[in-house]
Amino acid sequence: MAKTPKKTGAERGNTSGRGQRDLTVKVKTARGRKMSSKLWLERQLNDPYVKRAKAEGYRGRAAYKILELDDKFRFLVPGARVVDLGCAPGGWCQVAVARVNALGQKSGKAQGTVLGVDLQEVEPIAGAEIHQLDFMEDDADLKVKDWLGGEADVVMSDMAAAASGHKQTDHLRIIALCEAAAHLAFDVLSPGGTFVAKVLAGGTEGGLQQILKQKFEKVQNVKPPASRSDSSEKFVVATGFRGRGDA
């Protein structure tokens, strides 16, 4: 009898990291390779989350950030309708598809939906509807609302503009992306819904926090273990959307 192939961690949506060997890799500075790329490569090769992502079938280490956030806050439940902004290459979508049961494989559980959007093209992900779109262009939110065709339970954003090398510029850009994501969330979330977004600490995130506090029961800043400790990145998790009051 043919054996059923074992599911990858990505297909199960799990966070287990068992069976890892810890062998540090050193990269030689080859001719033409800058010191900064040597250090980047070395960090990638020795990063346990990069190794896990490879072993468990996730498209990137970012998957573990949303897995860890969801382990704590439990917003990716079967049946949930999810919007994933800045979804390339697709790690968060993979996690969402498995956890909300977007493929309908968990019998007896509600089937959810996952809508992903990114500037870049994304290799198809079974169970997710993905569109290439610059979320900062005029009417981008109208397009997303159209594709969604109704309310969402979760709006999550891992959007980040390409790093400029200037800390404050990067901070302001990510806050602008975050605010745009929050405005979509205010328009499409169902009451009780959740908003998750990546921010880079840098001074102006207070304004966003204030707006979120008016719209949600609870707003928390979290740095999941998978987020590199030397990065100013953190995630704002706003739960219990109060609704638009227009129902």
Ligand X SMILES: C[S@@+](CC[C@H](N)C(=O)[O-])C[C@H]1O[C@@H](n2cnc3c(N)ncnc32)[C@H](O)[C@@H]1O
Residue 62 structure tokens: 């970012």
> Applying CB under 6 A, which part among 41-49, 57-65, 68-76, 213-221 lies near ligand X?
57-65
User: One of 51, 65, 198, 215 is an active-site residue; which one?
Assistant: 198
Instruction: Candidates 11, 68, 158, 205: give the one binding ligand X (CB under 6 A).
Output: 158
- Residue 38 and residue 123: Cα distance in Å, rounded? 28
State yes or no: residue 127 binds ligand X (CB under 6 A). no
Query: Smallest gap, in angstroms, from Cβ of residue 39 to ligand X?
Result: 19
> Applying CB under 6 A, which part among 9-17, 32-40, 118-126, 205-213 lies near ligand X?
118-126
* 90 known ligand binder: yes
* Phi then psi dihedrals of residue 172, to 5 deg: -65, -40
| Site of tokens 């609704």 | 243
Task: Say whether 198 is catalytic.
Answer: yes
70-89: contacts with ligand X (CB under 6 A): 86-89
- Map residues 166-205 to x or -, x wherever contact with ligand X holds by CB under 6 A: -----------x----------------------------
State yes or no: residue 69 binds ligand X (CB under 6 A). no
Per the CB < 8 A criterion, the answer to whether 132 and 118 are in contact is yes
Instruction: Candidates 92, 186, 195, 235: give the one binding ligand X (CB under 6 A).
Output: 92
Instruction: Candidates 91, 112, 127, 193: give the one binding ligand X (CB under 6 A).
Output: 91
Query: Smallest gap, in angstroms, from Cβ of residue 118 to ligand X?
Result: 4
Q: Which segments are annotated as binding site for S-adenosyl-L-methionine?
A: 90, 92, 118, 134, 158
Catalytic sites, residue numbers: 198
